Amino acid sequence: MIIAIDGPAASGKGTISKKLAQHFALPHMDTGLLYRAVGYAMRDDLDRPDWEKLAIEKAQSLELSHYHEDDLTTAEAGVAASKVARVPEVRTALREVQIAFAQQEDGAILDGRDIGTRICPDADVKLYITADAETRAERRTKQLNARGVDVTFDEILAQIEKRDADDKDNPAGAFYVAPDAHLLDTTKLSIEAAFQAALELVNDVLAQEKSTS
Ligand SMILES: Nc1ncnc2c1ncn2[C@@H]1O[C@H](COP(=O)(O)OP(=O)(O)OP(=O)(O)O)[C@@H](O)[C@H]1O
Ligand SMILES: Nc1ccn([C@@H]2O[C@H](COP(=O)(O)O)[C@@H](O)[C@H]2O)c(=O)n1
């Protein structure tokens, strides 16, 4: 079974994906980390005139295990990820890694921006997780502050709004809600309530598939 989960920054898609992966005993990939790793690797080179060529080389030789997750989950790595994600050849290189992951024997759960539209268009279940920008900024600020990172709500809200806008008009992306995706707005939901709502959606789709097969 392949479950494709998309949604904007800090919507809670990673949290829900991890819980679903545990529930269904499926491997999970946070595909944002791939873009973040390329962005992080490019952190000192993004102003170079040949930065796109370098980013493509980094994406083509990416070894995610060489990176520390704390370095990849900073706000700066998110901004850099969003920049390298606009290069079509970077997307092509990372697409291969994601497709290989999705093709595991028992299936997989992948979360990102274009999983239901481009990476796994035939996924058994597609979810689109969202929440309003203020709620997402509040969650991300809390998450970073808890890690000792000194950021304010206003800074994070501005970054999230910019990243939403940049991602939305990424000419190399396919960041729209797949027509067959199930929408879940977590703005007013706790983590547990959001997970239960997602689980219910997945189970409904599976029950429907079973009854028609
Ligand atoms: N429903 C919720 N209520 C409160 N906090 C939440 C909820 N869902 C997630 N969080 C918290 O919000 C933060 C961001 O969540 P998460 O990492 O799952 O988002 P994401 O969509 O995967 O973000 P990104 O892809 O940008 O990394 C985490 O600290 C997480 O614990
Ligand atoms: N499938 C994906 C996933 C991510 N991106 C880009 O990476 C940025 C960081 O992603 P997070 O999910 O970790 O916030 C994101 O803003 C996108 O620009 C992508 O293009 N495709």
Q: CA 135 → CA 12, 45, 156, 194, distances in Å? A: 10, 33, 11, 14
Task: Compute, in angstroms, the gap from residue 24 CA to the centroid of ligand 2.
Answer: 24
Ligand nearest the Cα of residue 165 is: 2
Ligand nearest the Cα of residue 128 is: 1
Q: Are 94 and 35 in contact (CB under 8 A)?
A: yes
- For residue 213, pLDDT over 80 is answered with no
What predicted TM-score, i.e. pTM, was given to this entire model? 0.96
Task: Compute, in angstroms, the gap from residue 9 CA to the centroid of ligand 1.
Answer: 8
Domains of the chain are 2-206 (3.40.50.300)
| Burial profile 84-117: b = 16 or more Cβ within 10 angstroms, e = fewer | bbbbeebbebbbebbeebbeeeebbbbbbbbbbb
**Residue range 169-189: mean pLDDT, rounded:** 94
Amino acid 46: pLDDT: 96
Amino acid 160: pLDDT: 94
Determine if ligand 2 sits within 6 Å of the CB of residue 116.
Answer: no
Average pLDDT, the chain: 95
pLDDT tens digits, residue range 39-94? 999 999 999 999 999 999 999 999 999 999 999 999 899 999 999 999 999 999 99
- For residue 9, pLDDT over 90 is answered with yes
Residue minimizing CA distance to atom 29 of ligand 1: 143
Percentage of the chain modeled with pLDDT above 90: 89
